[in-house]
C-alpha cells in the first residue's frame, strides 16, 4: 500500500491544517492528549476577551454566556455518544463524575451489594469504586468483583457476562481498554446486564471522538469521559457525563448548586430545586477556560462527522499494523486486529518498550509508554496522515534493526 495514494483519497485531509503541528515532529499520542486546533485557541481567547470586556456580565452576555456553557457543550457532544441533548452535560472530570454517578446508582441492598469491574481498567476508576464502597461501610475486598483477563491484555465479553451474578448491583467498564485498545461490545454487555436487573455504565475516555456510540438506543444507564484526548480540549480539560433519560427522576448522590434548576439557582434557598434533566448531576461552577476550547474543537467534529473519522482511523491503524508486521516483527501487536474490536490506537509489546519510546522521541516521534512494556501509537484521523504512519514505521524499523534504544536508560519518566 502506497501512502501517497491513500493520502490522495483522504476526504479529511483538509482538517490537518486546523491544528498546530511541528514540522520536525510526528505526533502519535493523541489518545493521551490531543493537539491544539486553531478553532479551540480562538474560542478560548474569545472567552478571555468576554471576561476582559464584560467582567461579571460574561455569565449572561457575549456569544457564549458562561452560565449556559455546560449545557451548550452537552448538546454539541450528544451526537458523539448517541445520547439525547438532555442526557449529556459537560462538567467535572472523569473521577469527579464517577463519584457522582456511582454515588447515585450504587444502592446496595441485602445480598445485591457488589460492584463489577475488570482488572485491566484505568486505576482511577478502581480508586473511585473502592472509595464509594468504603463510604457505605463495606469492604472493597469482598464487594468489588474484577473480571480476570486470560491474556493480560484483553477481556472476553462472555466472561464479563458470566460474572453478572445475583449479588451484583452495579457494573462499570471501559468502552476501550487503555492499554490494548480493545473495544468492548457495549450493546451486548448492556443487554446482558439489564436481563439480570443490573445497572451498567461505561468510561468512554478512549472511545469518545474516535468512534460512534449509541448509548441511548443501547439503553446504557450512565457514562463518563474526558475531552482532552481525541476531542482536543486541552490538558486537564473539563469532562462529560451521560445519564439515560429514564433515570432523570433520581436524586443525585452528590448535590451542588450548579445542579439547580437555572431559574431557581440564584434564589439562594438552602433547599435545592434540581434541574429536571442531566443538568442535575452537575456539582460546582463550570471551569470556563477549560470548557471554552471545546467549543471550537466540537465545531470541527460537526463538520468532519464521527462516521468519517472512524473510517479513517481504522484505515490508519490497519496501515500501521500492516507496516509493523512487515518491518518490525520484533514488536508484538497486542491489540485486536478486527475493526469492530479495536479502538483508535495500536498497542505494541516489547521488553524494551520504555527505551524504544525514548529512541522514538529522539527521532521526532511522540509515542506513549505504559508500564511495564507497552508502546501505544495513535494516528489521529483529523491531523495525522498516511505519510506520518509510513515515516513512523520506517523510524521504528531503523531503531529496532540498529538497536538504537540501547543508548537510553531503562525505566520511564514520571509522566509516561
Q: List pLDDT tens digits, range 136-193.
A: 999 999 999 999 999 999 999 999 999 999 999 999 999 999 999 999 999 999 999 9
Mean pLDDT of 250-262: 96
* Three-state DSSP class for residue 309: helix
Q: Which residue has the cell 480539560?
A: 237
pLDDT at residue 415, rounded to an integer = 57
Q: What is the tens place of the pLDDT at every residue in 39-68? A: 999 999 999 999 999 999 999 999 899 999
203 is known as an active-site residue: yes
Is the pLDDT reported for residue 17 higher than 80?
Answer: yes
Rounded mean pLDDT of the chain?
97
Q: What is the CB-side half-sphere exposure of residue 350 using CA atoms within 13 A? A: 23
Give binding residues for pyridoxal 5'-phosphate as ranges: 94-95, 122-125, 203, 206, 228, 257, 285
Q: How confident is the model at residue 1 (pLDDT cuts 50, 70, 90)?
A: confident
Is domain 44-302 in CATH 3.40.50.1100, yes or no? no
Mean pLDDT of 325-350: 98
Is the pLDDT reported for residue 15 higher than 60?
Answer: yes
Q: How much of the chain exceeds pLDDT 70, in percent?
A: 99
* Sign, Cα dihedral of 312, 315, 321, 324: negative
Q: Going by DSSP bridges, is the β-strand pair 374-377/368-370 parallel, antiparallel, or unpaired? A: antiparallel
Active-site residue, from 15, 106, 178, 228: 228
Give binding residues as ranges: 94-95, 122-125, 203, 206, 228, 257, 285
Active-site residue, from 376, 383, 386, 405: 376
Measured at the CA of 142, the angle between CA 141 and CA 148, to 5 degrees, comes to: 75
pLDDT at residue 410, rounded to an integer = 83
106 is known as an active-site residue: no
Q: Give, in words, the CATH class of 3-36+306-407.
A: alpha beta
Cell numbers that stand for 370 in this block: 505504559
- Supply the Cα-derived Rg of the chain in whole angstroms: 22
DSSP one-letter string for 85-147? GGGEEE-S-HHHHHHHHHHHH---BTTB-EEEEETTS-HHHHHHHHHHHHHTT--HHHHEEEE
Mean pLDDT of 4-24: 97
Is the pLDDT reported for residue 210 higher than 60?
Answer: yes
Active-site residue, from 122, 289, 327, 408: 122
| Contact assessment for residue 231 and residue 208, using Cβ atoms and an 8 Å cutoff | yes
Active-site residue, from 203, 277, 368, 388: 203
Cis peptide before 130 (omega within 30 of 0): no
Backbone angles phi, psi at 182, to 5 degrees: -70, 130
* Three-state DSSP class for residue 313: helix
Backbone angles phi, psi at 303, to 5 degrees: -75, -40
Q: Which residue has the cell 508502546?
A: 375
Could you tell me the residue ranges of all domains in the chain?
Answer: 3-36+306-407, 44-302
Euclidean distance between the first and the last CA atom of the chain, given in angstroms as a whole number: 32
376 is known as an active-site residue: yes
Q: Which residues contact 403 (CB under 8 A, 6 or more apart)?
A: none
228 is known as an active-site residue: yes
Mean pLDDT of 94-120: 98
Active-site residue, from 39, 114, 229, 280: 229
Amino acid at each position: 500500500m502506497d501512502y501517497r495514494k491513500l493520502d490522495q483519497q483522504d476526504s479529511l485531509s483538509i482538517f490537518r491544517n486546523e491544528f498546530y503541528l511541528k514540522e520536525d515532529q510526528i505526533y502519535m499520542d493523541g489518545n493521551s492528549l490531543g493537539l491544539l486546533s486553531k478553532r479551540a485557541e480562538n474560542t478560548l481567547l474569545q472567552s478571555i476577551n468576554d471576561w476582559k470586556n464584560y467582567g461579571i456580565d460574561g455569565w449572561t452576555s457575549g456569544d457564549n454566556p458562561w452560565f449556559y456553557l455546560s449545557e451548550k457543550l452537552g448538546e454539541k457532544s450528544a451526537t458523539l455518544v448517541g445520547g439525547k441533548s438532555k442526557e449529556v452535560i459537560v462538567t467535572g472530570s472523569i473521577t469527579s463524575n464517577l463519584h457522582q454517578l456511582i454515588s447515585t446508582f450504587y444502592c446496595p441492598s441485602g445480598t445485591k451489594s457488589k460492584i463489577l469491574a475488570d482488572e485491566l481498567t484505568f486505576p482511577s476508576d478502581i480508586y473511585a469504586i473502592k472509595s464509594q464502597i468504603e463510604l457505605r461501610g463495606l469492604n472493597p475486598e469482598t464487594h468489588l468483583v474484577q473480571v480476570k483477563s486470560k491474556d493480560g491484555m484483553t477481556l472476553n465479553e462472555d466472561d464479563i457476562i458470566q460474572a453478572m451474578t445475583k449479588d451484583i448491583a452495579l457494573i462499570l467498564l471501559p468502552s476501550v481498554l487503555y492499554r490494548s485498545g480493545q473495544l468492548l461490545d457495549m450493546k451486548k454487555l448492556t443487554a446482558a446486564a439489564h436481563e439480570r436487573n443490573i445497572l451498567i455504565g461505561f468510561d468512554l475516555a478512549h472511545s469518545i471522538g474516535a468512534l460512534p456510540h449509541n448509548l441511548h438506543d443501547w439503553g446504557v444507564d450512565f457514562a463518563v469521559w474526558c475531552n482532552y484526548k481525541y476531542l482536543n480540549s486541552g490538558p486537564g480539560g473539563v469532562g462529560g457525563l451521560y445519564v439515560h433519560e429514564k433515570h432523570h427522576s433520581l436524586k443525585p448522590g452528590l448535590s451542588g448548586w450548579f445542579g439547580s434548576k437555572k431559574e431557581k439557582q440564584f434564589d439562594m434557598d438552602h433547599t435545592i430545586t434540581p434541574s429536571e434533566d442531566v443538568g442535575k448531576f452537575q456539582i460546582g461552577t463550570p471551569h470556563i477556560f477549560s470548557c471554552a476550547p471545546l467549543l471550537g474543537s466540537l465545531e470541527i467534529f460537526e463538520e468532519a462527522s464521527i462516521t468519517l473519522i472512524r473510517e479513517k482511523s481504522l484505515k490508519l491503524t490497519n496501515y500501521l499494523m500492516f507496516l509493523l508486521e512487515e518491518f518490525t516483527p520484533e514488536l508484538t501487536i497486542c491489540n485486536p486486529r478486527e475493526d469492530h474490536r479495536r479502538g483508535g490506537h495500536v498497542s505494541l509489546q516489547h521488553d524494551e518498550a520504555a527505551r524504544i519510546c525514548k529512541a522514538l522521541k529522539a527521532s521526532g516521534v511522540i509515542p506513549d509508554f505504559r508500564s511495564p512494556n507497552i508502546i501505544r501509537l495513535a494516528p489521529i484521523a483529523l491531523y495525522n496522515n498516511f505519510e506520518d504512519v509510513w515515516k513512523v514505521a520506517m523510524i521504528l524499523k531503523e531503531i529496532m534493526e540498529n538497536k538504537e534504544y540501547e543508548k537510553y536508560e531503562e525505566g520511564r519518566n514520571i509522566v509516561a
